[in-house]
Amino acid sequence: MNILIAGSAGFLGAHLTKHYLMQGDCVYGVDHLGSGSKKNVNLFLKNGDYHFIEHDVSKPLPADLPHIDIILHFASRASPPDYQKHPFDTMDANYKGTYNLLELALAHNARFVYASTSEIYGNPPKTIAINSHTYTLIPTPEYFWGNVNSFGPRSCYDESKRVGEALVFEYIRKGVDARIVRIFNTYGPLMRPDDGRVVTNFIKQALNDEPLTIFGDGTQGRSYCFADDLIDGIAKVASFKIENVRDKLLAYKSQFMEKRPSKYLFDLDNDIKLERVFNVGNPCEHYSVLELADLILELTNSNSSKNFFGLPKDDPQDRIPDITKISQVLGYSPKITLKQGLEKTISYFKEIL
């Protein structure tokens, strides 16, 4: 099959590229190299089935592409310091880029996968009480509509992902076979050491015996998914046929029918055609930022101290994916513990730093 991966030079795009090349597919990697790494592209250039196209997806795609079977849209800056420095590029990638790639999907009759994010949930309350029943929102299920600030420092990312999702649904209504993955915190080899996310910051600082930068008091919780587990989930979402999972989707939905509190939280009347959103992440590997820091210090044998700074605005207190849907419908089950994943990531950073 011909697979187009937008964002192929980035962390997740490079892992996806590796996955599809290993499967024997032909990959067209599109990237403007804004936050991606030429080193990641160079890993694949020797492979005759890899074709790199340096291009900004906010502009229409080249007209001379061969027939494309699957489009994976992973072209967007994802690290908070990076997208806050480039808000317009980030919004363009998720609005104009999503539009251009969906138009391509329509023209090629290609399947489409959009990389959305846990950030579209904003800062969910732990629980919500409706009609004397208390509902749990952490772990966060797909049917929570979000609690997002539309004009904060993270809005260029969070809100452009939300409009990206809205575009995807309009194209599903036009007949495109599209799916959405809401990705939770993922880490692993092929990340850029300077990309500004917590795992890379801590590993780099620990290996250099520099103080670890902790925002807030470090009690905020995150769940950490290793790249290989995430790619397994994305590949499952990219490959299912709706007619094969219809019964499982209906069974998943029916669990919530009886305890449905209101239209605001739950939208279960959607046609099965629209049931295309899946959380992907690893809820089992949930740690506070301080626990993550201590584990990295232990695994790197580092003597680094910790420096505490104020919590950035709108930083969510906790993030845990509810992966019931993807587990029950597509058989997804992440396997790699934080310790195992960090060991692999630290080895990679030791090689490249």
Ligand X SMILES: NC(=O)c1ccc[n+]([C@@H]2O[C@H](COP(=O)([O-])OP(=O)(O)OC[C@H]3O[C@@H](n4cnc5c(N)ncnc54)[C@H](O)[C@@H]3O)[C@@H](O)[C@H]2O)c1
The set of catalytic residues is: 157
Contact status: 7 vs ligand X (CB under 6 A): yes
Per DSSP (E only), the strands in 74-170 are: 111-117, 127-130, 133-136
Distance CA 61, CA 58 (A): 9
Q: Which is nearer to ligand X, 32 or 276 (CB)?
A: 32
Cα separations in angstroms, 88 against 51, 166, 241, 344: 27, 19, 35, 34
Contact status: 100 vs ligand X (CB under 6 A): no
Q: Which stretch binds ligand X (CB under 6 A): 10-18, 132-140, 201-209, 302-310?
A: 10-18
Q: Which is nearer to ligand X, 266 or 316 (CB)?
A: 316
Q: Which is nearer to ligand X, 13 or 122 (CB)?
A: 13
Distance CA 268, CA 272 (A): 9
In the list 11, 121, 226, 252, the residue contacting ligand X (rule: CB under 6 A) is 11
In the list 3, 4, 27, 57, the residue contacting ligand X (rule: CB under 6 A) is 57
Phi, psi dihedral angles at 177 (to 5 degrees): -85, 85
Cα separations in angstroms, 341 against 160, 171, 205: 30, 37, 18
Partners of residue 29 on adjacent β-strands? 5, 52
Contact status: 51 vs ligand X (CB under 6 A): no
239, 104 contact by CB (below 8 A): no
Contact status: 115 vs ligand X (CB under 6 A): yes
Distance CA 248, CA 229 (A): 22
Q: Which is nearer to ligand X, 186 or 302 (CB)?
A: 186
How many other C-beta atoms lie within 10 A of the C-beta of residue 133? Answer: 10
To ligand X, the closest distance from the beta carbon of 210 in angstroms equals 23
In this structure, are strands 286-288 and 221-223 parallel, antiparallel, or unpaired? antiparallel
Q: Which of residues 155-184 bind ligand X (CB under 6 A)?
A: 183
In the list 28, 44, 74, 240, the residue contacting ligand X (rule: CB under 6 A) is 74
Distance CA 244, CA 144 (A): 26
In the list 77, 108, 111, 154, the residue contacting ligand X (rule: CB under 6 A) is 77
Contact status: 286 vs ligand X (CB under 6 A): no
Q: Which stretch binds ligand X (CB under 6 A): 20-28, 55-63, 284-292, 335-343?
A: 55-63
Contact status: 278 vs ligand X (CB under 6 A): no
In the list 1, 25, 47, 56, the residue contacting ligand X (rule: CB under 6 A) is 56
Distance CA 107, CA 245 (A): 26
The tokens describing 32, both together, are 């403007």
Contact status: 75 vs ligand X (CB under 6 A): yes
Residues that bind ligand X (CB under 6 A): 7, 9-13, 31-36, 56-58, 74-78, 92-93, 97, 115, 117, 183, 185-186
